[in-house]
Structures are given as structure tokens and as C-alpha cells.
Structure 1
Amino acid sequence: MKEGPNIAAVAALIGDPARANMLQALMNGVALTASELAQEAGVTPQTSSFHLGKLSEAGLVCLRKQGRHKYYSLTGSDVASLLEALSGIAMRTGMTRVRTGPKEPALRKARVCYNHLAGDYGVQAYDSLLAREFLLEEDEQLHLTLAGRSFFNDLGLVLPEKETKRRPLCKSCLDWSVRRSHLAGLAGTALLTYFLEEGWARRIEGSRVIEFSKTGDSRFRSLFSLEI
């Protein structure tokens, strides 16, 4: 018997169409009820409960109770990164959904990836931070430099001095639509929160789409200019 992680078991869980739809629905970073996830998966509430039980046992989703209501969310950014990477492979190999619509260009432009910004905007921010040496890629790890910390401080974003393996300060996440990296980790979460709270962008209800206003777009491109 082979030793080590059982990736086949995890792959089988994610590979079920209903469970895959549930996991993708949770990529918007919002906790959802079993009924809402049943709608996303196109299954009955009873079937939804069975699938969520399997995902919970595997540590892919967690249950949170608020009063009489129960909500499910992804257990962490590592699960989100895995789903984003799988989406990229599916796009590259031509395994796309038959149904398309006007939301797809908007998703490619800017969207939520669990708790940070993805799409064209996310990749531009990442590239700009790297070009100005606010971020440093070293030994396959991503680090925030002193200049980078000052950049975040100037925006009023105070990041913790120390990071943990569970909650890294900076992490690259492979973007499925651009197939290049965008910024995840605590720094990525802080930036997305900043854009939303400053009114540069808003979340489209019931979607992962992030829509930048005309003013927000101008400020974003000024802050993350690639003309270094």
C-alpha cells in the first residue's frame, strides 16, 4: 500500500459535479446555507446534506451556526487556491461549461477568489507590486519587502508583523482566466477590502463579479501602474 496523502480521495470528492458546483459557489467568500448550495448544485436538499457531509468530513468545507441557521464556507485559502488552479487546468484543456453568458467577460476582468481579487485587475496589481519590488519572489516563496509594507501602511492597511503557515502574509494564486498569478494571503484580502470600503468597486450580488466604478478604475490604474 502506498504511503502519503491520498489525493485520489480528495479528487473524487471534488470530481462529483454536484459537489464541484457547491465548492465553486463558495469561492465568492460568502457563507451559504444548505438550501442555497442545493440550488447551486441542482440537487434536492436531502442530497445536498449528503454531499455537504462528505465535504465536511474531508475538511473542504466547515459549518458555522448563527441562531437557527447553518452556513457553510470553505475551510481556508488553500482549498480556494486548489479550486482556482483546477479551473485554470480545465480552461487550458478545453473542459469548459457549455453554457456561457455576459457574466464571463466580467468574471475575467475582476472577481472574488475566496477573499482576494482575481482576474485582470488582480494580475495587474500583482505585477505592479512585483515591478516596484514591494513583493519579492524568492525560493518559490512570496515576501513583502519593507517598501511594500510602507506602501500598505500609506493606504491605512496595517498588516501583522508575523505570519503563520495557516495565514500567510503574501501568497501567489494562479489565476484561471489569465493563467498568471494574483495576490492572495492577508495582503490580498486587505487590498480587496480597501477597494470595496473606499467605494472603488462593489460586489455584484449573487455573483463573484467585482465591478469597478469609473473613478475606482482610474484610481486603481494610477495606484497599480505598470509604467515603472
Structure 2
Amino acid sequence: MKEGPDIAYVAALIGEPARANMLTALMSGKALTVSELAEEAGVTIQTASAHLSRMEEGRLLRPRKQGRHKYFALASDDVAHVLEALMGLAAGAGHLRKRTGPKDETLRHARVCYNHLAGEMGTRLYESLVSRGFLGAVEEGLILTEDGAAFVTGFGIGLDVLREKKVPLCRECLDWSERRPHLAGSLGRAFLGRFEALSWARRDQTSRAILFSARGDAAFGQVFPSGT
């Protein structure tokens, strides 16, 4: 095909191992410096800078300066969704970079996918909302129903603010470890923020893991019961 989007260009940007490691590190949702990303990729700062420039030109990354430091973050939700989908494809095909261990189990249970909840807890959230008719599928994608809107508002999330945002309110994201959808979009981000505000969960500062307390895990099960 000689016309249309150049997927080979984007795939080449993502596919280089050092760049793939940098992009994966940025799936935590944090902006990282060149030196931090160089460490993640196992390359020199000079090499990392060259990789980052290419990804910035390809609009995969968004740079920003703060004082003397330059930080990099993923350019958009779309980049994060592509990366999560590729992780799922690689995991499903058996292309794993290391053997599983305790840290992997923690990430599989609950982790941040750029800005929303993923892993077992993320798919449980999604499936609970769908089973109770709070989320519905239409030709255009995923929608929040009237009953869902009432539930979300009652849970302390301001829908009016979310609907003003440019990103979709609800969006499916294929979970790489569960191989089932979890909730993305501004609503997915808001749910994660609400869990943190309620002290149900906190982010592990050394990884992408989301750590639920015993109280938070119990409360989550009551508010978001498993579908039948």
C-alpha cells in the first residue's frame, strides 16, 4: 500500500530496543529526564538524547523544561494505548523479556497504564461497570449510560468537568496481562484518582504498580462487585 498512514515509520520508532524501554518506562505516567531514561534503556546519555529527539520528531513524546532540566512524557493517550496493545500482543505470543517473579505478580494485580488503572483490578472495574449496565457499547465505541452517570456522580466524580476535556470520556484499552479490556479515557483516569483520594490505593514510586490497602481492596469489592 503506497498511500495512507506510514505505520512502518512509527513501528520503527517503537521497535528499537532502547527506545522501547524508554517508552515502557513512561507508561507510569511520570515525566522523566534524559538521564533517567538513559538508565532505563541501558545506554549513554548522548545515545538516549539521540533516541529521544527521533521520538519527539515522530510525535511519540512531549518534552517540557523545568528549570535546568528537560523532561519527557508520552505525547498522548493514543501513544499509551498503542504501547499497551503491543505489550498484550507480545505477551500473548510468548515474547517476554524476563522470567516472572513477585514484582511481576504485583504489576499483574494492579498497575497504572499511563493514567488509568490496569491489571486484574482494572479489568474487574471495567467488568463490574459493564455487568450493571453503567457502560454500554455502541457503534461509535463505549458510552456511559444514564444509570452509569448517576453512579459515577454518587461516587464523587464530577462528570461535567470530564466532559469538557478533549479526550474521550470512556474508552476500552486491551490489558496486556489480563487479555481483557480495562477502562481508559478521562473516566478511567478519574476513577484511579478517586481511589487514591479515598486512600484505597497508592502508587509504588519504584514501578508502575498500584498498591491497594486491605481496607481499599475490601471497599473496592463492595463498590465494584464482580459481574455474574
Give the TM-score category using the shorter length: over 0.9
Match of 1:8 in 2: 8
1:200 and 2:200 correspond: yes
RMSD: 1.4
1:67 Cα deviation after fit: 1.7
Distance 2:3 2:122 in 1: 38
Percentage identity across aligned positions?
Answer: 56
Moved over 4 A (4+): none
Q: Scaled by the length of structure 2, what TM-score is found? A: 0.96
Structure 1 stretches of 5 or more lacking a match?
Answer: none
Mapped partners of 2:61, 2:49: distance in 1: 12
CA deviation digits over 1:89-136, x for unaligned, max 9?
A: 101111101354321001110000000000000000000100111100
| Residues 155-174 of structure 1 aligned to structure 2 (within 5 Å) | 155-160=155-160, 162=163, 166-174=166-174
**What is the deviation of 1:163?**
5.7
Counterparts of 1:114 and 1:208, CA distance in 2: 9
Aligned match of 2:84: 84
Quote how far apart the aligned CAs of 1:197 are.
Answer: 1.3
| CA distance in 2: counterparts of 1:101 and 1:51, whole angstroms | 30
Q: Deviations over 1:171-226 (max 9, x none)?
A: 00000001000000000000000111111011111200001000000000111102
- Residue 38 of structure 2 corresponds to 38
Q: Specify the code of the residue in structure 2 equivalent to 1:177.
A: S
CA contact (8 A) 2:127 2:227 kept: no
Contact 2:132 2:227 in 1 (8 A): no
Q: Is the 8 A contact 2:107 2:208 kept in 1?
A: yes
1:118–1:225 CA distance, 2 compared to 1 (3 A): same
Amino acid at match of 2:168: P
Closer, same or farther: CA 184–133 of 1 in aligned 2, 3 Å:
same
- The answer to whether the 8 A contact 2:116-2:192 is kept is yes
Instruction: Give 1:152 deviation, angstroms.
Output: 1.2
One-letter code aligned to 2:114: Y
Shift of 1:57: 0.3
| Distance across 2 between alignment mates of 1:227 and 1:70 | 45
Alignment of 1:104-115 (within 5 A): 104-115=104-115
Aligned length: 227
Question: Are residues 1:187 and 2:164 paired?
Answer: no
Map residues 67-106 of structure 1 onto 2, 5 A cutoff. 67-106=67-106
User: What residue in structure 2 maps to residue 176 of structure 1?
Assistant: 176
Contact 1:126–1:182, Cα closer than 8 Å, also in 2: yes
Residue in 2 that maps onto 1:64: 64
User: For residue 219 of structure 1, what is the aligned residue in structure 2?
Assistant: 219
Moved more, 143-152 or 177-186: 143-152
TM-score, normalized by length of structure 1? 0.96
Query: What is the CA-CA distance between 1:158 and the residue it aligns to?
Result: 0.5
Q: Which runs of 5+ in 2 are unaligned?
A: none
